[in-house]
Amino acid sequence: MTDDRRYPAMPGTEYLMESECGLRKGGAIVSTVDLRPELLPEEPYTFAVERRGGAYTMEMSGVFAHAGRATFRYTRSFVQDGEPIWHYNQKPGEYDGRFNADWTWTGPGGTLVDRDTWPAGSAYPDRFMIGDPHMNFYEGSARVDDIRLYVPE
């Protein structure tokens, strides 16, 4: 939510990527490390996502290009340095509406205003995706052979 964000009129649309070199904002997607798919399935990767204490933690372990066998773990608060993780609130009471806005889209067909993009009283359950969302850019396949969900009591 700074001046260098990807879409200035749309909070939460900037890419925020943590790495061993620090935080990178905006622009193209960068990676922390590169997987080595040619080593699979003999050398599997392990990924973990945790939501706890007002933050998400992501962890990945395996053999990576330019790094070898390693574990990388990054934690980011729901709102850190004034920048939110988009729609982090699972329950209405977790968010006060401070990042709500109207987004305006202008193009050859006219103007569209998307109102109340993140209002107070809203809630968004976590949904984690396994796989690659960019079917038009990449090809290949992956196999998940062990998945576990832990829910705190």
Residue 106, C-beta contacts closer than 8 angstroms, at least 6 positions apart = 112
Cis omega (within 30 of 0) for bond into 119: no
pLDDT (mean) for 37-47: 89
d(CA 23, CA 119): 28
Pick the most confident of 104-113, 114-123, 137-146: 114-123
CA-nearest of 114, 76, 78 to 93 is 78
d(CA 21, CA 44): 25
Number of folded domains that form the chain: 1
Render pLDDT for 86-113 as a digit per residue (tens, 0 to 9): 889 999 999 999 999 888 878 889 988 8
**pTM of this structure:** 0.76
pLDDT (mean) for 21-30: 70
d(CA 6, CA 78): 19
pLDDT of residue 97: 95
Residue 90: which domain range?
Answer: 1-153
Decide: 71 and 63 in contact? Cβ < 8 Å.
no
Asked if pLDDT for residue 46 goes beyond 80, the answer is yes
Q: b/e for 62-81, b at 16 or more Cβ within 10 A?
A: bbbeeeeeeebeeebebbee
Decide: 75 and 56 in contact? Cβ < 8 Å.
yes
pLDDT class of 5 with cuts at 50, 70, 90: very low
pLDDT of residue 23: 77
d(CA 1, CA 118): 14
pLDDT of residue 28: 64
CA-nearest of 117, 119, 142 to 129 is 142
Asked if pLDDT for residue 147 goes beyond 80, the answer is yes
pLDDT of residue 20: 79
d(CA 58, CA 49): 5
d(CA 40, CA 131): 16
Asked if pLDDT for residue 4 goes beyond 50, the answer is no
